[in-house]
């Protein structure tokens, strides 16, 4: 298997600008071909510069994204009357809130109605019927591009913890303490670890690996360990889920200079 290429950029914003340009180019090619374009989207700190750059570039170009489908990776679950269900989307830390306020809303902001992302074009896995998500994605044509990000402390991707099988698919997962601590840093509004939900629904490693193209973003000094682990592998290693990047058909790792510095004191 060929090594996954690494590209290093000066800042997270530089990553965002170039990746946004690439993704919007892929979206436009799909429009010309008359097909939908499924974009796999994480939430959190790492992809924010990409979404901001996409929104800014769309404001300049007025590109048509009405055929775009956002395929969200995961969502927190809480106990409800019928068991585990989505966290309320008014919570600032919910993935539904992030998708609406930090992805779809900004992308659509400067576009005329006919060119906007449609309201029914944001897909989330359903905790009641996890298997249906895989079928829904396949029926639309499969995931064209996955933006990926890795947990700093244990290499989790989406909510997939260490030990996740290569062929794992969309499922309900009990979140590891490491994942919950990382998410507490991402969303300080939680306040304390006890407020971070203990369960989530997540796409699987196999779901991610099925994407036609993927870019794994690592930025900041806190991501030096995960970048080192990814670069030391050439295929999926279950003890560090971020190594799933090596399983995608077209793949790259994009790092900023802070993450690319050697491990050790700064």
Strands 68-72 and 171-174: unpaired
Checking if the pLDDT of 178 tops 90, the result is no
The SS3 assignment for 237 reads: strand
Band (239; pLDDT cuts 50, 70, 90): very high
The C-alpha atoms of residue 223 and residue 214 are separated, in whole angstroms, by 18
The C-alpha atoms of residue 72 and residue 233 are separated, in whole angstroms, by 27
Band (2; pLDDT cuts 50, 70, 90): low
Number of domains within the chain: 1
State both tokens at 92. 């600032």
Checking if the pLDDT of 265 tops 60, the result is no
Whether 264 is covered by a domain: the verdict is no
pLDDT at 106: 98
Alpha-carbon 142 to chain mean position = 15
Checking if the pLDDT of 262 tops 90, the result is no
Q: For residues 142 and 38, is the Cβ–Cβ distance under 8 A? A: yes
Checking if the pLDDT of 264 tops 70, the result is no
Checking if the pLDDT of 182 tops 90, the result is no
Q: For residues 203 and 126, is the Cβ–Cβ distance under 8 A? A: no
| pTM metric for this prediction | 0.94
Band (82; pLDDT cuts 50, 70, 90): confident
Checking if the pLDDT of 158 tops 60, the result is yes
Whether 178 is covered by a domain: the verdict is yes
Whether 205 is covered by a domain: the verdict is yes
Checking if the pLDDT of 228 tops 90, the result is yes
Checking if the pLDDT of 93 tops 60, the result is yes
E strands in the chain: 6-9, 37-41, 68-72, 74-80, 83-86, 122-123, 145-149, 171-174, 199-202, 213-218, 250-256
Q: What share of the chain is helix, strand, coil (3-state, %, to 5)?
A: 40, 20, 40
Whether 98 is covered by a domain: the verdict is yes
The C-alpha atoms of residue 222 and residue 110 are separated, in whole angstroms, by 34
Domain that holds residue 82: 6-258
**What CATH number did the domain enclosing 244 receive?**
3.40.50.1360
| Structure confidence by residue, pLDDT tens digits, 198-209 | 999 999 999 999
Mean pLDDT, residues 262-266 taken together: 63
Whether 265 is covered by a domain: the verdict is no
Band (51; pLDDT cuts 50, 70, 90): very high
175 contact partners, CB below 8 Å, separation of at least 6? 159, 161, 183, 196, 197, 198, 199, 200
Q: What does R_g of the chain's alpha carbons equal in angstroms?
A: 17
Whether 120 is covered by a domain: the verdict is yes
Q: For residues 250 and 213, is the Cβ–Cβ distance under 8 A? A: yes
State both tokens at 149. 């990000």
Range from 82-91, 108-117, 212-221, 234-243 carrying the lowest mean pLDDT: 82-91
Mean pLDDT, residues 18-33 taken together: 98
Band (244; pLDDT cuts 50, 70, 90): very high
Give the torsion through C-alpha atoms of 24, 29, 33, 39, to 10 deg.
-40
Mean pLDDT, residues 218-242 taken together: 96
Whether 1 is covered by a domain: the verdict is no
CA–CA distance from 175 to each of 181, 183, 202 (Å)? 10, 10, 10
DSSP state, 70?
Answer: E
Q: How many CB atoms lie within 10 A of CB 206?
A: 18
């Amino acid at each position: 298997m060929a090594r996954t290429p690494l590209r290093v950029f000066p800042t997270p914003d530089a990553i965002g600008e170039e990746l946004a340009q690439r993704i919007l180019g892929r979206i436009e090619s799909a429009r010309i071909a008359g097909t939908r374009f499924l974009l796999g989207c994480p939430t959190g700190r790492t992809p924010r510069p990409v979404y901001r750059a996409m929104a800014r570039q769309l404001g300049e170009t007025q590109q048509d994204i009405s055929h775009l489908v956002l395929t969200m990776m995961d969502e927190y679950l809480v106990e409800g009357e019928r068991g585990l269900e989505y966290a309320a989307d008014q919570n600032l830390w919910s993935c539904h809130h992030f998708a609406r306020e930090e992805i779809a809303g900004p992308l659509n902001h400067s576009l005329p109605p006919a060119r906007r992302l449609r309201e029914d074009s944001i897909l989330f896995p359903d905790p009641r019927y996890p298997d249906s998500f895989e079928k829904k994605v396949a029926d639309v044509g499969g995931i064209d591009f996955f933006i990926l990000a890795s947990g700093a402390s244990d290499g989790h991707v989406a909510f997939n913890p260490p030990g996740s099988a290569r062929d794992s698919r969309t499922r309900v997962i009990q979140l590891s303490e490491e994942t919950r601590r990382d998410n507490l840093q991402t969303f300080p509004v939680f306040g304390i670890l006890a407020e971070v939900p203990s369960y989530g629904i997540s796409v699987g490693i196999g779901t991610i690996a099925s994407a036609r193209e993927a870019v794994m973003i690592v930025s900041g000094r806190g991501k030096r360990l995960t970048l080192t682990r990814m670069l030391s592998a050439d295929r999926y290693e279950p003890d560090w889920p971020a190594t799933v990047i090596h399983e995608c058909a077209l793949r790259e790792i994009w790092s900023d200079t802070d993450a690319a510095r050697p491990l050790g004191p700064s």
